[in-house]
Amino acid sequence: MAAVKYSAQYINEGGSINLTGGIAGARPGAGWSVAASICGAMDAFTRAMAVELAPIRVNQVSPGVVRTNLWNSMSETDREGLFTNVGNALPLKRIGEADDIAQTFIYMMKQHFATGQVITVDGGAVLV
């Protein structure tokens, strides 16, 4: 967190700081108390840094389950089962891909009138 505060001086004019959170704070599951706490703290940290570092923009992208290396500690069978089960439970009927999240970061970098915002990209997970 100190890295965000102290690196702000190196941000180009018009640039922004874009953080990654997660939906566990908005929709915690059993056994996810630590992750939920961290995600909730990241939301608050994003807003606090937006105020403290203004006029530098500070925003956050909060993804749901995304097909990335984060899940590589699981066996391939378990991982694919998780992706299928979670995807089928979502309104969009699929889990996220890295490109889905990357597009949101690009949007936040180009959006010059947003700061302190958390954009959730989760296929509708917080709705169900």
CATH number of 16-127: 3.40.50.720
What is the residue-level pLDDT of the chain in tens, covering all 128 positions? 788 988 999 999 999 999 999 999 998 989 999 999 999 999 999 999 999 999 999 999 999 999 999 999 999 999 999 999 999 999 999 999 999 999 999 999 999 999 999 999 999 999 99
Over pLDDT 70: what percentage of the chain?
Answer: 100
| Domain ranges within the chain, ordered by starting residue | 16-127
Q: If you write DSSP's letter for every residue of the chain in order, what string do you get?
A: -HHHHHHGGGSPTT-EEEEE--GGGTS--TT-HHHHHHHHHHHHHHHHHHHHTTTSEEEEEEE-SEESGGGTTS-HHHHHHHHHHHHHHSTTSS-EEHHHHHHHHHHHHH-TT--S-EEEESTTGGG-
Residue 29: predicted pLDDT: 87
What tens digit of pLDDT does each residue of 84-109 get? 999 999 999 999 999 999 999 999 99
Rounded to two decimals, what is the model's pTM?
0.91
Average pLDDT, the chain: 96
